[in-house]
Structure 1
C-alpha cells in the first residue's frame, strides 16, 4: 500500500492557521469578549520564545491550550459551528496544485493522511469536501460533551507527527519507497524522509536548500 502524507499550514493551506483563529476570536460576535484575556495570556510565552528562553514547540502548545479557555463549557457541536464559520474563507486559500495532487492520489487509490498540529476538529470541518483516510491533529479534550480545560492538550508537532503516522499505519504493509509526503517547513523533515517521493511546497529557505541538495521535487 502506498501512502500520501499532507501537511496543512503552508502546504494544503497557504496561510497560518493560528493567526486566522486569533482574528476569528477577536472579531467574533459572540466570543470576542474573550479575546483580550487570551491575548494577554499568550504575551509572556511569546516574549520568552523570542528571547530563546522558551522552546517554540512549548510556546505553540501553550498558545493552543490558552486559546481553548475562551470556549470553556461549549459542546462539541458548538465548536463545530465555530470552526465551520471559517471553512469557506480558508478553502479559498487552499493551494490548487496541492489539491490536484491530493485528487490524483485519491484516484490512484493511495492511502491519504492529513497531519498537522492544528486542532483535529478544526481540520475535519475546514477540509469538508476533501477526502482523507485519516486526519491526525491536536485533539480538543471533552468531558460530558463539554470542552474540558482540566485536561491538557497534546500538541502534535515534530517527532510526534512521525510517531502518530506510524501508529496509524501499524499492521499495514507500506510501500514507503513509492509513497509521497508534502511539507513546507524544515520541521517537516522527519515526515518527508519517511517516503521515497518527498515534495517541498513553497518551502522555507532551509528546506528549499535541502530539497535542492537532495533533488527533491519543489512546488
Structure 2
C-alpha cells in the first residue's frame, strides 16, 4: 500500500516565503505602487506569522495586480522570478526529501496557502504533480484566460488545507484510511490542524510556536536547512 506524503512549501521545502518574495518582486518590476504595496505586503506577512491573517483580504491584495496583464507577460515575469529568486534558494536536501517519498511510491502533494500562480512552477521543480494551492479566478473559467484578480474556491489555509486535501483524495476515490501512513511536513503553527490529521506529522524548520508544540506532542522535528 502506498503512503501519502504532503508538503507545505514556504519555509518548508524552500527557505523563503514565495508569496512575500513575489510581492517584493512586483515592487522591483514597478508594476505596483512601491511604498504602499511594500507596507501592505509586510503587514500581511506579519499577520500570517502571528496566526491572524485575513486570507481573503490577502489574496485579493496579491491577485489584483495580476488582472492588469496578459498571461504571457505574467509568465515572462514569473520565469524571471524563478531564475532570480526561487531556484537559487532551493537546497539539495529539500529535493532529496521529496525524491525519497516519490521513489518509495508515495502519493505526493504540495499543500500551500500561497496562490497557484506563484507556486505551480515551484512545485514543478520538485517534481510533485499535484498542487493544492489557493485558486485564482479567470475571466471565463478557462485555465488559460486572463485573471480577474480575485480568488475562488476554498482557500488552502489552516483548516482549509484539510478540506482541500480531503476533496482531492475523494476525487481519487480515497480517504485517509486508505493509507497505512500519512506524512505532512510543515514549518508553520498555522498548519497544526493538518499536522494533527496525519499519522506522521513532521515539524520542518518549525517556527517557535510550532517547535514548542511539536516538542510537547512528541512529533518529529526536521531542520532541513541546517548545515549537515
- TM-score in same-fold range (> 0.5): yes
Name the counterpart of 1:27.
28
CA contact (8 A) 1:38 1:67 kept: no
The alignment's C-alpha RMSD in Å is: 2.7
Residue of structure 1 equivalent to 2:146: 146
Give aligned pairs, total. 208
Q: Residue 117 of structure 1 is aligned with which of 90, 106, 113? A: 113
Q: List aligned pairs for 1:49-198, cutoff 5 A.
A: 56-58=52-54, 60-88=55-83, 89-144=85-140, 145-149=145-149, 151-154=150-153, 155-170=155-170, 171-172=173-174, 174=176, 175-198=178-201
Runs of 4+ in 1 over 6 A off after TM superposition: none
Q: Normalising by the residue count of structure 1, what TM-score does the alignment of the two structures yield?
A: 0.82
User: When the two structures are superposed, what TM-score results if normalisation uses the length of structure 2?
Assistant: 0.79
Kept after mapping to 1: 8 A contact 2:9/2:111: yes
CA–CA distance in 2 between the matches of 1:196 and 1:19?
31
Residue ranges of structure 2 left out of the alignment (5+ in a row): 223-228
Q: Say if 1:78 and 1:87 are closer, same or farther in 2 by CA, change over 3 A.
A: same
Give 1:165 deviation, angstroms. Answer: 0.4
Q: Which moves more between the two structures, 133-142 or 110-119?
A: 133-142
Partner of 1:57, secondary structure, is: coil
1:184–1:201 CA contact under 8 A, matched in 2: yes
Higher mean displacement: 156-165 or 202-211:
202-211
Q: Secondary structure at the match of 1:127?
A: helix
- TM-superposition CA deviations, 1:28-52 (whole Å, max 9, x none): 1xxx142348528938x86xx69x9
- Segments of structure 1 that go 5 or more residues without pairing to the other structure are none
